[in-house]
Amino acid sequence: MSLFRDDFYSTKPSRRVYHRRSAARQSGTMWLAIALLVLGITLVAVVLANQSEAPPVSGEVQQDSRDDRGGTDDREAAGSQSEDREAGSQEQSSGSANSGSDSGTDASTGSSSDSNGGASAGAGVGGADGLAEYRSEVAWAIAQVYDAVVSIVMESDEEITDWKDIYSIGSGIIFLVQGDTAYVVTNHHVASAAEKLEIVLSNGVKRKAEVIGSDAISDLAVLKTDAKGIETVAVFGRSSDLQPGETAIAIGNPLGLGYAHTTTAGIISAKGLRSIPVSLSGNGILDWEMEVIQIDAAINSGNSGGALVNIKGEVIGINTMKIAWFGVEGLGFAIPIDLAAPVIEELLEKGRVSRPYLGISAVSVADYTGMEPLDLPKEVTSGAVIMSVEGPAKSAGLRAYDVIVKLDETRIDDMIDLRKYLYTHKKIGDPIEVTVYRNGRQRSYNFKLGELP
């Protein structure tokens, strides 16, 4: 039995071979037709594409996808942004300097920032050569203020070898350079934490600092130091028109120098200003209310006195406190720059803030723990108990244990009400009517306010 087919050895084509060759010829013809069809379609597509392609009307060149290695196109784009933002920052600085009392910004502060190159030197993206790259507006804003934020520490003869070993009691902002002197604003509770203070610049250099003025009520203080090597000066912005959801960036030195120049970002998290009760004496008795900006950027111990910055790189507030209850997060507060600027100016000029003065020390009725009976009518359950008297109040006839219930026509329920009315509605030398209860009887005394010593 043959294992091979007969046509394999045949010299004549068999019927099967003939049909196979015929089919092959037909298949080749079909594939040639398909190839020609595809080629024709391709040529038509190319012609149509060439006809539809036209130069852009605006003449702008489309930018390729970004190269993280920072090629020529990126540097040119960064330089263009630098010019635009530098122009905007200089215009804002000029407006801030000339806005006067409308913005609450010290005019001399704004102009000195420009004249000393602090604001303008850091205002452009990438600096003079335009080569550096900021990949977000937040990064650019931080760069404008970063070197103007300092750490405030207790004076020590030790060299800084490890920042983690030195505890920062707070932060501060370089806001003015005049000649050889640089001025730093911080919180009163930071400046009063030690008799002798030093500042630590962003590059780690330590400088002795001297307190030239401090005010417990506003929680602000101004320090001065040697200006050598200081090139960046913060520019004050405006806080009166802040909106909820607006970017807010906190820069400071939480938990010591090991975390120096920490930046946290968030938003303005409440409309308008919050009134937060505080204890001016630190004894836990609430006797004043601070008007503050509420933010959700993280604020920690050591951030006090640091900068709250907007997206333009301007200081809009001075970080001062947070709510630190268990389970509470994202409730930080800053002193609005519009309220801070006049106080800073007065501290620069006089070393103190002048305020009207009754001539009493007092506590709220709710906080009174003395042994002397107050003899108040049953319907009177609030007011301010006078503990000691001097100056204008003593001359007018007020006595210890009198209970103040009205100033002029304004009801007084506690010491917060008393200070609020006195410091926001009255001036030194203004007349005032003080209504008190003494031995169960109501009395009124009229006199002129003095000046707080």
Catalytic residue positions? Answer: 189, 219, 304
Give 336's contacts (C-beta < 8 A, 6+ positions apart).
Answer: 239, 240, 273, 291, 292, 293, 316, 317
R_g of the chain, CA atoms, integer Å: 37
DSSP 64: P
CA distance 119 to 375: 61
Place of tokens 């604001």: 119
Look at residue 173 and give its three-state secondary structure.
strand
- C-alpha count within 13 angstroms, C-beta hemisphere, residue 26: 6
Query: Do the beta carbons of residue 355 and residue 344 sit within 8 Å?
Result: no
CA distance 208 to 227: 11
Query: Do the beta carbons of residue 277 and residue 323 sit within 8 Å?
Result: no
Q: How far, in Å, are 155, 206, 376 from residue 197 at the CA level? A: 5, 10, 48
Tokens (6 digits) for 8? 């394999």
- Which phi and psi angles does 204 have, rounded to 5°? 95, -5
Please state the separation of Cα 237 from the chain's center in Å: 10
How many Cβ atoms sit within 10 Å of the Cβ of residue 244? 11
Closest alpha carbon to 217 in 389, 410, 411, 423: 423
Tokens (6 digits) for 5? 């087919």
CA distance 287 to 307: 26
Query: Do the beta carbons of residue 400 and residue 387 sit within 8 Å?
Result: yes
